[in-house]
Structure 1
Amino acid sequence: MGNEIKIASINITNLSKTDLLHYHLFPRLNRQQKCMVVLANLLLLLETTDNQAYKEIIEQADYVLPASKGIILAAKNRKQTFHEQIDSVALMIDLLKFAEVQGLSCYFLGGKDYINEKLILEIEKQFPRLIIAGHQHGAFEPTDSLIMENVRVKNADIVFVSLQGNSQEEWMANIFASCKKGLFIGVDESFDILAGEMKRTPDLLNNLNLGWLYRMVAKPSRIKNAGKSQRMIKNILLGKD
């Protein structure tokens, strides 16, 4: 695989989005080769330092991508450079475009009930020829066997997962081994953004490394994680992660 940069004991994939898609994800999809993709931010990395089981899940992923400005900064402070920050929404759209052209099927798991429904309507509008294998809102227990069985039966080529907290990666890890094929990718709040329920972080705040603050204001439930985020940023700046 491509180069990696280690941040907080996690190897993070160092590829441009173009190379990631054209030399890795698209070929895997064409070969129906299973793949698990994680989009990493500061809170995810912090969780891996506190939760060994969760860390092992992240380490099992085929690709752990730098999806936040903080991770880019962490590499810079180690005199290393990522090719680019991977935006989850942009990556999801590129995968949807490829799936539509190639006749691949997609499953959409997560988000609140009404957000999931709005997402599907928007996807159908933007990608009218896309094969939607199925969709399911995120109001279920991560261990719900009926949901897992439904996803397995649908046998989609790409499974987009948008669940809260650790549930996203834990759910993908739980189902991954029992599926014959599929690119499983955690896309965090991309469902909310594509459904029109949440705006992207302004570039100015991203450049100032304040994306976490904007997302807290847009989604107050994140406030409980504010202290963690600030602690991780401090550790990165001081090289203590």
Structure 2
Amino acid sequence: MSNKVNILDVEFDKQTKAETIDLLASRLKDHKKTFIVTANPEIVMYAQRDSDYMATLRAADYIIPDGAGIIMGAKLLKRPLPERVAGFDLLKDLLAVANCEYLNVFFLGAKEDVVRKAVTNVKQEYPNLHVCGYHHGYFDEKDEKVAEIVKKAEPDLVFVALGFPKQERWIKIHFPQFHKGVFMGVGGSFDVLAGEVKRAPLIWRKLNLEWLYRLIKQPSRWKRMAFLPLFMLKVFQTKKERVNG
């Protein structure tokens, strides 16, 4: 039985958050290089119209379903995924693993003051992990100097907060240079770690309504949310084609 679920040509991994953490903890222990993408409907739709970005997603070792829309789409295709795995929750769980195992962590992205605050807060919450370096996100993704800074730090975990598609492209471009490390794009997570942005309350997250909470708090996000109905329509069309085909 396949452990992948194909949604609009993006192969999502069919496992729970706990299974994902166990798998990644094992890969960290064995120093296996790993490229993780946490994908929502907006990312899938972007990949539909950008072949280079689709190729980037296909280069990933694991694509995690981050978004209620992905879970809905999988159900519609009758190929359900176990649960949504929020990127921020995965980030926090990996920090906990790093704390237990005394691992090296590099933070790449966001504004200088934001990443600095994020690092300060992480050090307080996870005193046993080692922040081996950090760098703001205002640079060209092909800049070899930044990649060299990260490489010299010898990180076990690299969190890249450049926003998609830049963060995934940065990882794909520079991934071959590294001999170890789990690399993951984390979007705006440093803002949350820094205390600049608050997450939705737990009840909203449990109801898969974090997107609605964020929309209420940031009405300017409505353009991004418009991808959800387009995504569901595309999934429905795919399902219809399979039935008719």
Q: How far apart, CA to CA, are the structure 2 residues paired with 1:25 and 1:49?
A: 28
Tell me the alpha carbon deviations over residues 5-48 of structure 1, each in whole angstroms, 9 at most, x when there is no partner.
Answer: 110111100111111121x2111101111000000001110011
Q: How far apart, CA to CA, are the structure 2 residues paired with 1:209 and 1:236?
A: 19
1:21 is matched with 21
Equivalenced residue count is 240
Task: Say whether the 8 Å CA contact 2:101–2:129 is kept in structure 1.
Answer: no
2:193 is matched with 194
**Structure 1 outlier segments of 4+, above 3 Å:** 201-230, 236-241
Give the 3-state SS of the residue equivalent to 2:233 in structure 1. helix
1:223 positional shift? 5.0
Task: Say whether the 8 Å CA contact 1:162–1:190 is kept in structure 2.
Answer: yes
Q: What amino acid sits opposite 1:104 in the alignment? A: L
Q: What amino acid sits opposite 2:35 in the alignment? A: M
Task: Say whether the 8 Å CA contact 1:70–1:209 is kept in structure 2.
Answer: no
CA RMSD of aligned residues (A): 2.3
Change (3 A) 1:131 1:204: closer
Task: Say whether the 8 Å CA contact 1:69–1:207 is kept in structure 2.
Answer: no
Tell me the alpha carbon deviations over residues 53-102 of structure 1, each in whole angstroms, 9 at most, x when there is no partner.
Answer: 11011011000000100000001111222111102222111111111221
1:150 is matched with 149
Tell me the alpha carbon deviations over residues 83-130 of structure 1, each in whole angstroms, 9 at most, x when there is no partner.
Answer: 111022221111111112212100001112221111011101101121
TM, length-normalised to structure 2:
0.89
Matches within 5 A, 1:1-241: 3-22=3-22, 24-202=23-201, 211-216=210-215, 218-219=217-218, 222-237=221-236, 239=238
Give the 3-state SS of the residue equivalent to 2:184 in structure 1. strand
Change (3 A) 1:170 1:217: farther
1:235 positional shift? 2.6
Task: Say whether the 8 Å CA contact 1:29–1:183 is kept in structure 2.
Answer: yes
Give ranges in structure 2 of 5+ residues lacking alignment.
none
Question: Quick check: 225-234 or 103-112, which moved more?
Answer: 225-234
1:214 positional shift? 4.0
TM, length-normalised to structure 1:
0.90
Give ranges in structure 1 of 5+ residues lacking alignment.
none
Q: How far apart, CA to CA, are the structure 2 residues paired with 1:96 and 1:30?
A: 14
